[in-house]
Structure 1
Amino acid sequence: MSGVLDQVRDAAGTALVEEVGAVIEAASAMSERFRRGGRLLAFGRGEAAADAAHVAVEFTHPVIVGKRALPALCLGAEPSLLPVLGRSQDIAVGVRPAAGDFAAARALGMLTVALTVNETGAGADHVLAARCDDPLVAGEIHVTVYHLLWELVHVFQEAGS
Protein backbone atom coordinates (compact mmCIF):
# COMPACT_ATOMS: atom_id res chain seq x y z
CA MET A 1 0.00 0.00 0.00
CA SER A 2 2.80 2.44 0.80
CA GLY A 3 4.05 2.09 -2.78
CA VAL A 4 0.76 3.46 -4.09
CA LEU A 5 0.80 6.29 -1.57
CA ASP A 6 4.37 7.12 -2.54
CA GLN A 7 3.29 7.34 -6.19
CA VAL A 8 0.36 9.60 -5.28
CA ARG A 9 2.65 11.88 -3.26
CA ASP A 10 5.29 11.94 -5.98
CA ALA A 11 2.70 12.86 -8.63
CA ALA A 12 1.24 15.63 -6.45
CA GLY A 13 4.72 16.96 -5.65
CA THR A 14 5.68 16.96 -9.32
CA ALA A 15 2.48 18.83 -10.16
CA LEU A 16 3.36 21.43 -7.52
CA VAL A 17 6.84 21.89 -8.99
CA GLU A 18 5.22 22.47 -12.39
CA GLU A 19 3.05 25.21 -10.82
CA VAL A 20 5.89 27.01 -9.02
CA GLY A 21 5.45 30.07 -11.24
CA ALA A 22 1.90 30.50 -9.96
CA VAL A 23 3.13 30.29 -6.35
CA ILE A 24 5.79 32.95 -7.04
CA GLU A 25 3.24 35.25 -8.70
CA ALA A 26 0.84 34.90 -5.78
CA ALA A 27 3.61 35.61 -3.25
CA SER A 28 4.72 38.70 -5.18
CA ALA A 29 1.16 40.05 -5.28
CA MET A 30 0.71 39.29 -1.57
CA SER A 31 3.96 41.07 -0.74
CA GLU A 32 2.76 44.18 -2.56
CA ARG A 33 -0.49 44.16 -0.58
CA PHE A 34 1.40 43.86 2.71
CA ARG A 35 3.58 46.77 1.61
CA ARG A 36 0.41 48.83 1.12
CA GLY A 37 -0.76 48.06 4.66
CA GLY A 38 -2.83 45.03 3.82
CA ARG A 39 -3.70 42.15 6.10
CA LEU A 40 -4.18 38.50 5.30
CA LEU A 41 -7.68 37.17 6.06
CA ALA A 42 -7.73 33.37 5.91
CA PHE A 43 -10.73 31.06 5.90
CA GLY A 44 -11.47 27.43 5.18
CA ARG A 45 -14.55 25.26 4.98
CA GLY A 46 -14.96 22.24 7.27
CA GLU A 47 -11.65 20.71 8.26
CA ALA A 48 -9.90 23.32 6.09
CA ALA A 49 -10.68 25.89 8.82
CA ALA A 50 -7.75 24.44 10.77
CA ASP A 51 -5.48 25.03 7.77
CA ALA A 52 -6.76 28.62 7.58
CA ALA A 53 -5.77 29.09 11.22
CA HIS A 54 -2.32 27.69 10.44
CA VAL A 55 -1.94 30.12 7.52
CA ALA A 56 -2.74 33.08 9.79
CA VAL A 57 -0.32 31.85 12.46
CA GLU A 58 2.49 31.44 9.92
CA PHE A 59 2.27 35.09 8.93
CA THR A 60 1.79 36.55 12.42
CA HIS A 61 4.35 34.41 14.21
CA PRO A 62 7.55 34.11 12.18
CA VAL A 63 9.66 31.14 13.24
CA ILE A 64 12.84 32.48 11.66
CA VAL A 65 14.74 35.10 13.66
CA GLY A 66 14.76 38.42 11.88
CA LYS A 67 11.60 37.86 9.85
CA ARG A 68 8.90 40.34 10.69
CA ALA A 69 5.39 39.43 11.67
CA LEU A 70 2.81 40.28 9.05
CA PRO A 71 -0.80 41.07 9.94
CA ALA A 72 -3.14 38.13 9.50
CA LEU A 73 -6.50 37.03 10.87
CA CYS A 74 -8.26 33.70 10.72
CA LEU A 75 -11.95 33.88 9.87
CA GLY A 76 -12.41 30.17 10.56
CA ALA A 77 -15.13 28.74 8.37
CA GLU A 78 -16.73 32.18 7.83
CA PRO A 79 -15.88 33.77 4.48
CA SER A 80 -19.05 35.78 5.13
CA LEU A 81 -16.87 37.97 7.37
CA LEU A 82 -14.78 39.16 4.41
CA PRO A 83 -17.06 42.12 3.57
CA VAL A 84 -17.29 43.04 7.26
CA LEU A 85 -13.56 42.97 8.06
CA GLY A 86 -11.95 43.30 4.63
CA ARG A 87 -10.41 46.39 3.06
CA SER A 88 -9.28 46.98 -0.51
CA GLN A 89 -5.58 46.47 0.31
CA ASP A 90 -6.19 43.14 2.11
CA ILE A 91 -5.57 39.58 0.97
CA ALA A 92 -8.25 36.88 1.22
CA VAL A 93 -6.81 33.36 1.36
CA GLY A 94 -9.33 30.56 1.08
CA VAL A 95 -8.41 26.95 1.78
CA ARG A 96 -10.73 24.77 -0.30
CA PRO A 97 -13.15 27.66 -0.96
CA ALA A 98 -16.65 27.13 -2.29
CA ALA A 99 -18.13 28.88 -5.30
CA GLY A 100 -18.91 32.48 -4.42
CA ASP A 101 -16.67 32.66 -1.35
CA PHE A 102 -14.53 35.39 -2.90
CA ALA A 103 -17.32 37.50 -4.44
CA ALA A 104 -17.42 40.09 -1.64
CA ALA A 105 -13.63 40.20 -1.37
CA ARG A 106 -13.27 40.84 -5.09
CA ALA A 107 -15.98 43.51 -4.95
CA LEU A 108 -13.90 45.29 -2.29
CA GLY A 109 -10.77 45.03 -4.45
CA MET A 110 -9.03 42.53 -2.19
CA LEU A 111 -6.40 40.19 -3.60
CA THR A 112 -7.78 36.65 -3.56
CA VAL A 113 -5.76 33.43 -3.27
CA ALA A 114 -7.36 29.99 -3.34
CA LEU A 115 -5.73 26.77 -2.17
CA THR A 116 -7.85 24.18 -3.94
CA VAL A 117 -8.02 20.49 -4.68
CA ASN A 118 -8.42 19.95 -8.43
CA GLU A 119 -10.85 22.87 -8.59
CA THR A 120 -11.17 26.15 -10.42
CA GLY A 121 -10.63 28.30 -7.34
CA ALA A 122 -14.02 29.93 -6.79
CA GLY A 123 -13.11 33.00 -8.84
CA ALA A 124 -9.80 33.82 -7.11
CA ASP A 125 -7.05 35.96 -8.58
CA HIS A 126 -4.52 33.24 -7.80
CA VAL A 127 -5.45 29.56 -7.79
CA LEU A 128 -2.92 27.20 -6.26
CA ALA A 129 -4.27 23.69 -6.72
CA ALA A 130 -3.12 20.48 -5.11
CA ARG A 131 -3.43 18.16 -8.08
CA CYS A 132 -4.46 15.14 -6.06
CA ASP A 133 -7.68 13.34 -5.19
CA ASP A 134 -6.33 11.94 -1.92
CA PRO A 135 -7.43 14.46 0.76
CA LEU A 136 -4.48 13.76 3.04
CA VAL A 137 -1.90 14.22 0.30
CA ALA A 138 -3.74 17.33 -0.92
CA GLY A 139 -3.52 18.67 2.63
CA GLU A 140 0.24 18.05 2.63
CA ILE A 141 0.52 20.00 -0.62
CA HIS A 142 -1.47 22.89 0.86
CA VAL A 143 0.81 23.00 3.91
CA THR A 144 3.81 23.10 1.58
CA VAL A 145 2.22 25.87 -0.52
CA TYR A 146 1.42 28.18 2.37
CA HIS A 147 4.87 27.72 3.82
CA LEU A 148 6.30 28.60 0.41
CA LEU A 149 4.05 31.66 0.25
CA TRP A 150 5.26 32.80 3.67
CA GLU A 151 8.90 32.37 2.73
CA LEU A 152 8.55 34.01 -0.69
CA VAL A 153 6.53 36.95 0.66
CA HIS A 154 9.44 37.64 3.02
CA VAL A 155 11.94 37.32 0.17
CA PHE A 156 9.96 39.91 -1.80
CA GLN A 157 9.62 42.13 1.29
CA GLU A 158 13.39 42.11 1.82
CA ALA A 159 14.07 42.73 -1.87
CA GLY A 160 11.68 45.68 -1.87
CA SER A 161 9.93 44.43 -5.00
Structure 2
Amino acid sequence: MEGGDVEVLDEIRAGREAAGMALVGEVGAVAEAAAAMSGRFRRGGRLLAVGRAEAAADAAHVAVEFTHPVIVGKPALPALCLGAEPALLPIWGRPQDIAVGVRPAVGDLAAARSLGMLTVALTVNATCAEADHVLAARSADPLVAREIHVTMYHLLWELVHVFLESEAQT
Protein backbone atom coordinates (compact mmCIF):
# COMPACT_ATOMS: atom_id res chain seq x y z
CA MET A 1 0.00 0.00 0.00
CA GLU A 2 1.12 3.51 -0.67
CA GLY A 3 1.42 6.16 2.03
CA GLY A 4 -1.83 7.90 1.02
CA ASP A 5 -3.79 4.66 1.23
CA VAL A 6 -2.49 4.00 4.74
CA GLU A 7 -3.49 7.50 5.83
CA VAL A 8 -7.02 7.03 4.48
CA LEU A 9 -7.37 3.69 6.28
CA ASP A 10 -6.05 5.24 9.50
CA GLU A 11 -8.65 8.02 9.22
CA ILE A 12 -11.45 5.51 8.64
CA ARG A 13 -10.31 3.38 11.58
CA ALA A 14 -10.05 6.42 13.85
CA GLY A 15 -13.56 7.55 12.90
CA ARG A 16 -15.04 4.14 13.64
CA GLU A 17 -13.17 3.84 16.93
CA ALA A 18 -14.39 7.27 18.03
CA ALA A 19 -17.98 6.40 17.09
CA GLY A 20 -17.70 3.08 18.93
CA MET A 21 -16.46 4.81 22.05
CA ALA A 22 -19.32 7.29 21.76
CA LEU A 23 -21.72 4.33 21.62
CA VAL A 24 -20.20 3.05 24.86
CA GLY A 25 -21.02 6.46 26.32
CA GLU A 26 -24.67 6.03 25.26
CA VAL A 27 -25.16 2.61 26.90
CA GLY A 28 -26.90 4.10 29.95
CA ALA A 29 -29.29 6.06 27.74
CA VAL A 30 -30.04 2.93 25.68
CA ALA A 31 -30.78 0.95 28.85
CA GLU A 32 -33.07 3.69 30.19
CA ALA A 33 -34.98 3.82 26.91
CA ALA A 34 -35.34 0.03 26.85
CA ALA A 35 -36.66 -0.02 30.42
CA ALA A 36 -39.27 2.62 29.56
CA MET A 37 -40.19 0.76 26.37
CA SER A 38 -40.68 -2.53 28.24
CA GLY A 39 -43.12 -0.78 30.56
CA ARG A 40 -45.15 0.40 27.58
CA PHE A 41 -45.16 -3.06 25.97
CA ARG A 42 -46.26 -4.58 29.28
CA ARG A 43 -49.25 -2.19 29.32
CA GLY A 44 -50.30 -3.17 25.79
CA GLY A 45 -48.36 -0.55 23.88
CA ARG A 46 -47.08 -0.86 20.34
CA LEU A 47 -43.95 0.47 18.72
CA LEU A 48 -44.54 2.88 15.82
CA ALA A 49 -41.38 3.63 13.85
CA VAL A 50 -40.81 6.52 11.45
CA GLY A 51 -37.89 7.81 9.42
CA ARG A 52 -37.64 10.19 6.50
CA ALA A 53 -35.79 9.49 3.24
CA GLU A 54 -33.15 6.77 3.70
CA ALA A 55 -34.04 6.52 7.40
CA ALA A 56 -37.41 5.00 6.38
CA ALA A 57 -35.60 1.72 5.65
CA ASP A 58 -34.11 1.77 9.15
CA ALA A 59 -37.54 2.48 10.63
CA ALA A 60 -38.85 -0.60 8.81
CA HIS A 61 -35.93 -2.62 10.21
CA VAL A 62 -36.77 -1.44 13.75
CA ALA A 63 -40.37 -2.64 13.35
CA VAL A 64 -39.24 -5.99 11.94
CA GLU A 65 -36.84 -6.53 14.84
CA PHE A 66 -39.67 -6.28 17.36
CA THR A 67 -42.29 -8.26 15.40
CA HIS A 68 -40.01 -11.06 14.21
CA PRO A 69 -37.85 -12.35 17.07
CA VAL A 70 -34.71 -14.10 15.89
CA ILE A 71 -34.08 -15.87 19.20
CA VAL A 72 -36.21 -18.91 20.02
CA GLY A 73 -38.51 -18.27 22.94
CA LYS A 74 -38.56 -14.49 22.64
CA PRO A 75 -42.08 -13.18 22.05
CA ALA A 76 -43.00 -11.04 19.08
CA LEU A 77 -43.87 -7.53 20.19
CA PRO A 78 -46.38 -5.33 18.37
CA ALA A 79 -44.68 -2.87 16.04
CA LEU A 80 -45.55 -0.99 12.87
CA CYS A 81 -43.49 1.05 10.47
CA LEU A 82 -45.19 4.25 9.36
CA GLY A 83 -42.37 4.87 6.89
CA ALA A 84 -41.58 8.47 6.07
CA GLU A 85 -44.90 9.72 7.46
CA PRO A 86 -44.47 11.03 11.02
CA ALA A 87 -47.79 12.85 10.52
CA LEU A 88 -49.43 9.42 10.92
CA LEU A 89 -48.21 9.08 14.52
CA PRO A 90 -51.17 10.95 16.06
CA ILE A 91 -53.59 9.02 13.82
CA TRP A 92 -52.27 5.53 14.62
CA GLY A 93 -50.81 6.23 18.05
CA ARG A 94 -52.31 5.75 21.49
CA PRO A 95 -51.00 7.08 24.81
CA GLN A 96 -49.49 3.71 25.79
CA ASP A 97 -47.55 3.40 22.50
CA ILE A 98 -43.90 4.07 21.69
CA ALA A 99 -42.85 6.34 18.82
CA VAL A 100 -39.34 5.70 17.52
CA GLY A 101 -37.94 8.29 15.15
CA VAL A 102 -34.87 7.33 13.13
CA ARG A 103 -32.94 10.52 12.40
CA PRO A 104 -36.13 12.54 12.92
CA ALA A 105 -36.60 16.07 11.64
CA VAL A 106 -37.53 18.79 14.13
CA GLY A 107 -41.15 18.31 15.09
CA ASP A 108 -41.50 14.71 13.88
CA LEU A 109 -42.15 13.34 17.37
CA ALA A 110 -43.91 16.35 18.92
CA ALA A 111 -47.48 15.19 18.24
CA ALA A 112 -46.70 11.70 19.54
CA ARG A 113 -45.29 13.11 22.75
CA SER A 114 -48.26 15.45 23.20
CA LEU A 115 -50.53 12.37 23.05
CA GLY A 116 -48.57 10.80 25.90
CA MET A 117 -46.65 8.35 23.75
CA LEU A 118 -43.13 7.45 24.83
CA THR A 119 -40.77 8.99 22.27
CA VAL A 120 -37.32 7.68 21.35
CA ALA A 121 -35.11 9.46 18.83
CA LEU A 122 -32.08 7.93 17.12
CA THR A 123 -30.14 11.05 16.14
CA VAL A 124 -26.79 12.01 14.68
CA ASN A 125 -24.81 14.52 16.74
CA ALA A 126 -27.97 16.34 17.72
CA THR A 127 -30.64 16.71 20.29
CA CYS A 128 -34.36 16.18 19.84
CA ALA A 129 -36.33 18.36 22.23
CA GLU A 130 -39.58 16.46 21.71
CA ALA A 131 -38.09 13.04 22.54
CA ASP A 132 -38.17 11.45 25.97
CA HIS A 133 -35.06 9.46 25.08
CA VAL A 134 -32.38 10.68 22.66
CA LEU A 135 -29.82 8.15 21.47
CA ALA A 136 -27.09 9.90 19.49
CA ALA A 137 -24.68 8.15 17.11
CA ARG A 138 -22.09 10.98 17.33
CA SER A 139 -20.31 10.47 14.03
CA ALA A 140 -19.75 12.86 11.16
CA ASP A 141 -19.69 9.91 8.76
CA PRO A 142 -23.32 9.09 7.82
CA LEU A 143 -22.49 5.43 7.15
CA VAL A 144 -20.85 4.98 10.53
CA ALA A 145 -23.77 6.79 12.19
CA ARG A 146 -26.17 4.40 10.50
CA GLU A 147 -24.16 1.40 11.75
CA ILE A 148 -24.31 2.82 15.27
CA HIS A 149 -28.10 3.22 14.98
CA VAL A 150 -28.46 -0.38 13.83
CA THR A 151 -26.45 -1.46 16.86
CA MET A 152 -28.59 0.75 19.12
CA TYR A 153 -31.90 -0.65 17.99
CA HIS A 154 -30.62 -4.20 18.25
CA LEU A 155 -29.57 -3.38 21.81
CA LEU A 156 -33.00 -1.88 22.47
CA TRP A 157 -34.68 -5.08 21.26
CA GLU A 158 -32.48 -7.29 23.42
CA LEU A 159 -32.77 -5.12 26.53
CA VAL A 160 -36.54 -4.74 26.20
CA HIS A 161 -36.76 -8.54 26.33
CA VAL A 162 -34.38 -8.69 29.30
CA PHE A 163 -36.54 -6.19 31.20
CA LEU A 164 -39.78 -7.96 30.27
CA GLU A 165 -38.38 -11.32 31.41
CA SER A 166 -36.99 -9.96 34.68
CA GLU A 167 -40.30 -8.25 35.48
CA ALA A 168 -42.22 -11.48 34.71
CA GLN A 169 -40.07 -13.39 37.22
CA THR A 170 -40.71 -11.00 40.11
Q: TM-score, normalised by structure 2?
A: 0.93
**Between the two proteins, what is the percent identity of the paired residues?**
78
Per the alignment, residue 141 of structure 1 pairs with 148
- Structure 2 distance, partners of 1:152, 1:62, is 13
Runs of 4+ in 1 over 4 A off after TM superposition: none
Please state whether the residue corresponding to 2:121 is helix, strand or coil: strand
Per the alignment, residue 85 of structure 1 pairs with 92
Per the alignment, residue 58 of structure 1 pairs with 65
Which structure 1 residue ranges, 5 or more long, are not aligned? none
- Structure 2 distance, partners of 1:3, 1:65, is 40
The structure with the largest alpha-carbon Rg is 2
Per the alignment, residue 42 of structure 2 pairs with 35
Q: Note the C-alpha offset of 1:122.
A: 4.5
What aligned pairs does 1:82-121 form with structure 2 within 5 A after superposition?
A: 82-121=89-128
Please state whether the residue corresponding to 2:112 is helix, strand or coil: helix
- Structure 2 distance, partners of 1:121, 1:55, is 19
Cα gap change, 1:25 to 1:90, in 2 (>3 Å): same
Per the alignment, residue 20 of structure 2 pairs with 13
Please state whether the residue corresponding to 2:17 is helix, strand or coil: helix
The partner residue of 2:77 within 64, 70, 84 is 70
Q: Note the C-alpha offset of 1:3.
A: 1.8
1:23 aligned to 2:42? no
- Structure 2 distance, partners of 1:6, 1:35, is 41
- Structure 2 distance, partners of 1:121, 1:101, is 9
- Structure 2 distance, partners of 1:100, 1:122, is 9
Q: Note the C-alpha offset of 1:2.
A: 2.0
Aligned length, in residue pairs:
161
Letter in 2 for 1:152: L
Which structure 2 residue ranges, 5 or more long, are not aligned? 1-7
Show CA shifts across 1:114-154 (max 9, x none).
00001112420000000101000000000000000000000
Q: Say if 1:82 and 1:104, in contact at 8 Å, map to a contact too.
A: yes
